[in-house]
Chains A and B, each alone.
Chain A
Amino acid sequence: MITPTHYMLLSTALFIIGVLGVMLRRNIIVIFMSIELILNAVNINLIAFSYQLQNGIGQVFAIFVIAVAAAEAAVGLGIILAFYRNKETINIDEMSVMRW
């Protein structure tokens, strides 16, 4: 029997993989993909509880999360392109122009 705890453990593991990607990789495109993994982990949680409670509100919130993820991807990739045009790199260690 698959309980919500199983789904929470799955989404926790996915979340941790995403956090590891954000913290360990230097390539900013991979970091953005890790953020997508984190948002997917959130969605799995929302829909698992929507199924458990037989309540559609969780799925509505998952749609909002997907909309925000799409907006985030568009703006973030635009920033990456603008940065690459100026610096010829996508290594986050070299992204220190805004640092004081």
Chain B
Amino acid sequence: MNQAIAFYVLSAFILGFAVLVVSTRNTVHAVLYLVLNFLAVAALYVLLTAQFLAVIQVLVYAGGIVVLYLFVVMLVNLKRPPEDHSAPQRHSWIGFGLSGLVLLELAVIIGYGSIAPPGPANAQNTDLAMYNVEKIGMLLYTDYLIPFEVASMLLLVAMVGAIILAKREL
């Protein structure tokens, strides 16, 4: 029962802040709403007993990526918002139609999926919840060692690429 209340409250926060991110005119406000959205998602991870992921979410998303966005918003410093000047070829109803189509497709997939029998019943306070960091660490450094190293290479390449792109001259 408590879990249901927490789920619905957090869902309302997540979706409400997501709508605000997409619809706010002021870009700085949109970035700040994004922080609140990420924090609500982190709380949802705690509800799902993924404590390590919740900490990573706060550190990497709400701490790192959002600061990067804020820096770019400040550096770009627009006099006129891009939405102001009119584009005659812009048809927003096409965007609505295509998004509605994707929603319909996903709803059909979930509808078919929920007919199928559910998986094994979830037991509270099992190993994954109690030894979350240990389990994740064991998986990362044994079965998924090579993807882990590839991800570290990807981050290195992204760092070099970002520096080269942002430099004025090489």
Binding site for B on A (CB under 8 A): 1-10, 12-21, 23-30, 32-34, 36-37, 40, 43-44, 47-48, 50-57, 59-60, 62-64, 66-75, 77-82, 84-85, 89-93
CA distance A28 to B48 in the complex (A): 33
Q: Which 4 A-B pairs have the closest CB atoms?
A: A78-B165, A23-B95, A71-B158, A91-B82
Q: Is B15 an interface residue (CB 8 A)?
A: yes
Report the Cα distance A5→B11, complex, angstroms.
13
Smallest CB separation, B16 vs chain A (Å): 10
B139 touching A56, Cβ below 8 Å: yes
Least CB distance, B148 to chain A, in whole angstroms: 8
B72 and A29 contact, CB distance less than 8 A: yes
For the complex, what is the distance from the CA of A87 to the CA of B154, rounded to whole Å?
Answer: 29
Q: A23-B95, A80-B76 are in contact. Are A47 and B122 (CB under 8 A)?
A: no
Report A-chain residues with C-beta under 8 Å of the C-beta of B49: 51
Interface size on B, residues (CB 8 A): 86
Q: Which residue of A lies closest to B89 (CB)?
A: A93
> Quick check: A53 and B119 within 8 Å, CB to CB?
yes
Q: B residues within 8 Å of A by Cβ?
A: 3-4, 7, 11, 14-15, 18-19, 21-22, 27, 30-31, 34, 37-38, 41, 44-45, 48-50, 52-53, 56-57, 60-61, 64-65, 68-69, 71-73, 75-76, 78, 81-83, 85, 87, 90, 92, 94-96, 98-99, 102-103, 106-107, 110, 113-114, 118-120, 122-123, 126-128, 132, 135-136, 139-140, 143-144, 147, 151, 154-155, 157-159, 161-166, 168
Task: Given A27-B27, A84-B76, verify A44-B15 contact (CB < 8 Å).
Answer: no
Given A20-B99, A68-B151 in contact, is the A59-B78 Cβ separation under 8 Å? no
- Residues on A with C-beta less than 8 A from B34 are 33, 36-37
A14 touches B14 (CB 8 A): yes
Instruction: Tell whether, in the assembled complex, residue A40 and residue B38 are in contact, meaning their CB atoms are under 8 Å apart.
Output: yes
- A17 touching B60, Cβ below 8 Å: no
With A5-B110, A51-B122, A54-B128 as given contacts, are A82 and B165 in contact (CB-CB < 8 Å)?
Answer: yes
Q: Is the CB of A81 within 8 A of B72?
A: yes
Can you list 29 A-B contacts with CB-CB less than 8 angstroms, sorted by A residue number?
A2-B4, A6-B7, A7-B48, A9-B110, A10-B14, A10-B15, A16-B106, A17-B15, A17-B18, A19-B99, A24-B92, A24-B95, A37-B21, A47-B50, A51-B50, A52-B119, A54-B120, A54-B122, A54-B126, A56-B139, A59-B53, A60-B139, A73-B65, A73-B68, A77-B68, A77-B162, A79-B165, A80-B72, A90-B78
